[in-house]
Structure 1
Amino acid sequence: MLYKFIDLFAGIGGIRLAFEEYGECVFSSEWDNKAKETYKFNFGEEPEGDITQIDERDIPDHDFLLAGFPCQPFSLAGVSKKNSLGKQHGFLDETQGTLFFDLARIIKEKQPQAFLLENVKNLRSHDKGKTFKMIKKVLEEELGYTVYDKVINAKGLVPQNRERIYIVGFKKPLHFEFPVIPEQGPPLKSILESNVIDKYTLSDKLWNYLQAYKEKHSKKGNGFGFGLADLNSNSRTLSARYHKDGSEILIPQGDGKNPRRLTPRECARLQGFPETFKIEVSDTAAYKQFGNSVAVPVVKEIAKNMIYAIEQDKPIPNVEEVDIENAGRVSQPN
């Protein structure tokens, strides 16, 4: 069976890549113009713009809602006002003014079979845990979905230490298991290009600055500073700031040369993008885009298990017969 899905906060389409073998993307949305360029180069269509300006009724029906959304704290001001006026309100009202609200209103209107949300690991502790607690309340108690979440490290599939939280939800109370990801995966050297031009080698000025900066903070007992990568292991997390100086992942070079940055193609490989993925934007834009993207192989494994859960159509055990944790309705352990 082929499924229809939508790609929200789409970036350059990393989550879409993972789901394309199962169906068709019928709608996408992304506000960043450079990311939209890369998306169009690779998928032949330009995403719609700011999701906050799009009416949920105008979005096509779909089976899966996919989104790597930013997290924001929720304000209770609107709820207090409603209380003072004696009006009824729900959890969804408490999220207004945040980007999660836009996901929730679309889910409420379109009622997809399932959703997959991706975010930084710290979503669980954001705003002292209030943000994640509210997200779970909206998805489970107000929208009626069976929700699973887990922090997964991508380093078993790509040579990068990258922990992200994945939130999976089903309209039906289906049994679902997150994929088991190996603890260790390919080494960093497996994704490096053999011949890299000199422009990616750090200048003497920048290299001296980074060394001095690290030494200064080391004397204070801080761990700040550059990361010289171990080519036989995994790298640090690739971030959107990589374009600034490349300091979190520096590749050592022999013959007395200064270390170098990763190339944009190496960044694509670090995130598990295929070799056919087109990089037509500037290096600066490419670094931001891959740093903001997802580890595609991880999402592929989750997608496979989501499809399996839907097609097996196996309900979770009755919560009256077993405890809730074993039923899978609560956060799974890291």
Structure 2
Amino acid sequence: MLYRFIDLFAGIGGIRTAFEPYGECVFSCEWDVKAQETYEANFGHKPVGDIRTVNEKEIPDHDILLAGFPCQPFSIAGVSKKKSLGRKHGFLDETQGTLFFDIARIIKEKQPQAFLLENVKNLRSHDKGNTFKVIKKVLEDLGYTVYSEVINARGLVPQNRERIYIVGFKKPLKFEFPIIPKEGPPLHTILEENVEEKYTLSDKLWNYLQAYKEKHAKKGNGFGYGLADLNSYSRTLSARYYKDGSEILIPQGEGKNPRKLTPRECARLQGFPDSFKIVVSNTAAYKQFGNSVAVPVVSLIAERVVQAIERDELLEEKLEEGRTCDKIIRSV
């Protein structure tokens, strides 16, 4: 069976790439203009812009909602006060003004069979846990059985990258997240053979980064550049990589300064195929891949989501903590 899905906060389409084997994307939304360019070059259509202006009633019907949404602060602290004043409260009020609100209103209107949301690991602890508490409550109040897990991608790509994945089903379906290997491919497997000299750090920048690290080391801080072990995995690729590449530097042997990853290597580090088109400037590409998901992780989750829908096995008992199942895979 093929499934209709929508791609919200789509970025450059990493989550979509993972779900494409299972169906058709019928709607996408992404506000960043440069990301829209990359998305259109690879998928043949330009995403809608600001999700806040999208009428949920006009979104096509779909089976699965996908969203790599930004984390914004909100709290349920004001609910009791609103009750005392006789004012309405609920998911619309609790999340108003946040981008998660837009996901909630679309889910409420379209009632997809399932959803997958992705965010930074720290979503769990943000605002002393209140942010995640609201998110779970909202999704459960909308009638969904919710599972969440923090997964490290480094067993599939050579990068230490922890993200939280939230899966929900309209039916109380049995679901288990995939087991990710602890050890994955080494960093040297994603490197290009011939790299232009422009990616090598200048003497000025390299001297600055070394001095900066030394200064903080004397204070007992771990700030500074990261010289990667080519036989292991890298630090987390971030959207700021375009600035100086300091979190992941590639050694080039004695007498030569280290270099930055190329945009294509960043794409590989996130698990994108080499057929994925990079049509923007290096600066924009670094930001886009730094903000993206690790595609192989989402691919395994996508497979499990589809399997759960097709098996249609219902939970026999209520899950602990309402209808939510949480699990954390910690770094080792």
TM over 0.5, shorter chain: yes
Structure 1 letter corresponding to 2:320? I
Deviation of 1:332 after TM superposition, in Å, equals: 1.6
In the TM superposition, structure 1's runs of 4+ consecutive aligned residues that sit over 4 Å from their partners are 75-82
Using the alignment, how far apart are the partners of 1:317 and 1:329 within structure 2?
14
Specify the SS of the correspondent of 2:287. Answer: helix
- Please state if 1:333 is matched with 2:299: no
Structure 1 letter corresponding to 2:216? H
The 5 A counterparts of 1:1-334 are 1-75=1-75, 79=79, 82-83=82-83, 85-140=85-140, 142-319=141-318, 324=320, 329-334=324-329
Structure 1 letter corresponding to 2:166? I
Which string of whole-angstrom CA distances, capped at 9 and with x for unpartnered residues, describes residues 286-311 of structure 1? 00000000000000000000000000
Q: How many residues of Structure 1 are paired with residues of Structure 2 in the alignment?
A: 329
Using the alignment, how far apart are the partners of 1:129 and 1:324 within structure 2?
18
Specify the SS of the correspondent of 2:65. Answer: strand
Using the alignment, how far apart are the partners of 1:301 and 1:6 within structure 2?
18
Structure 2 letter corresponding to 1:305? R
Deviation of 1:83 after TM superposition, in Å, equals: 3.5
TM-score (norm 2): 0.96
Distance 1:71 1:22, change over 3 A: same
Using the alignment, how far apart are the partners of 1:15 and 1:213 within structure 2?
37
Question: Identity of paired residues, percent?
Answer: 78
Structure 2 gaps of 5+ residues are none
Using the alignment, how far apart are the partners of 1:214 and 1:86 within structure 2?
56
Using the alignment, how far apart are the partners of 1:198 and 1:189 within structure 2?
18
Deviation of 1:91 after TM superposition, in Å, equals: 3.3
Deviation of 1:330 after TM superposition, in Å, equals: 2.2
Is the 8 Å Cα contact of residues 78 and 93 (structure 1) preserved in structure 2?
Answer: no
Distance 1:328 1:162, change over 3 A: farther
Deviation of 1:79 after TM superposition, in Å, equals: 4.6
Which string of whole-angstrom CA distances, capped at 9 and with x for unpartnered residues, describes residues 241-280 of structure 1? 0000000000000241100000000000000001100001
Structure 2 letter corresponding to 1:315? L
Using the alignment, how far apart are the partners of 1:193 and 1:77 within structure 2?
51
RMSD: 1.6
Structure 1 gaps of 5+ residues are none
Specify the SS of the correspondent of 2:163. Answer: strand
Which string of whole-angstrom CA distances, capped at 9 and with x for unpartnered residues, describes residues 45-70 of structure 1? 00000001111111110000000001
